[in-house]
Structure 1
């Protein structure tokens, strides 16, 4: 990114998980569903012990996340200029046409312009982060909230190929001259057209992933070897490790195992959840580099972050 972005910070971050903690065995016919989606693969090796579901309307969890972000950021709701909702395609149909209006009104976001980013599945949140930074080309923009939300109403839809879906809302504040722990240096999203059609292969996935990595490191001037931690999508553990291998990420650089065990796959929000968990347990350090990474059928995305 160019010099004007140097003063833009990311943070605080917040996560609002579904309030019901459940076990995979709680899903009716779970073993059969898993085998139908991921044949000849033992679920026990996934690394997921529980997942979360929302017992109430998704707006409740979005508002909880927004209020915690604003409280920690120390800014009044009226100071937020934009809010960006990043979500997967499947969530759009049940959000409703007045979803953004309800959130803005309930959170008292009186000067806020809403935007929805989707159609890139679990990679939409990283596209939203880049879009948030681009909004600062307008000198009147000071604070932007980015929210990721992925919810699965039906239990039998939670069991997907190499993933167990969980419910969560995550968010961060992107601000000009803020005091957040990170800043965004560069981002990249690549498409795997064969993957969009369900015909992806090892080669097509590798090309999409490596192409995104080439862009993000070329634009930043950094190198993968210098990255302290990578926050990936929380898929089936061997798949996550495979995705790391094809891009040259060492498994010791990954931080995902503990959140995967507790929350499963939270769609768009996985990299945020992993980042928050790392920041809580270890701490983001000034000057160190971190990589947010997301993968989905047909897409691969990443964003390079630097501790402030």
Structure 2
């Protein structure tokens, strides 16, 4: 799939994860396994409910089902490796396997970021232009937005992955992390990484500047529109349509900001891993829970699904 690593003195990496005592490893392994199963179950349930429940065939839930698929991709890529690392107190991965893991992680993360931006626009139209909502957010337009998110997420990550695959690795074969992230791979390379860093910086501008600005702008308009609603019930109903998405956006970008706010260096590796744990494992777990607990339509659809199974 990727080019051969000519002149590379490193053919495999050792991921260290969290170096823990035996008892602590068992506790962490058990917790991770439970989180893994709950995350897969919750996100699969969202996809099933949206696919087979007529009342959930709306733009917001269409975007949500793709968000859940991104979370499944991310979880299935990171946690099984993390479980093995935790149980063995370290794990070996070939350079190819490491880069493939980074690629899948990158695609799911980039696509999720774009989908959250698309969902903010959907909420803006729903609150600020309710009479035109059905016309604007028609199926063809929503499908185009989703396809665009996946294509851009795949294309951007593929370019970065190809550039990384041409690097040679000879500085060390130890990765002090629980998965193959961009920063550890670049740090271990003995090649010139200027091109890779420039490309990542260029592609990172939309993800860390433009997309948050779009989301902030849409929510400023939403809050102003809510303030103009005369009745308290009307304001509460309008805000409830956005609260789940807003909670997920804050959690998603909050952890990302924390990751890149931590200065590089050995003293921060432990904190960096903890924040990455929030971003790669906790967030996919909480996404379906937040939407399930705060959304009456999903609760109703789930109850109906249980009733059908009982029959």
TM over 0.5: no
Structure (1/2) with the larger strand percentage? 1
In the superposition, the TM-score normalised over structure 1's length comes to 0.28
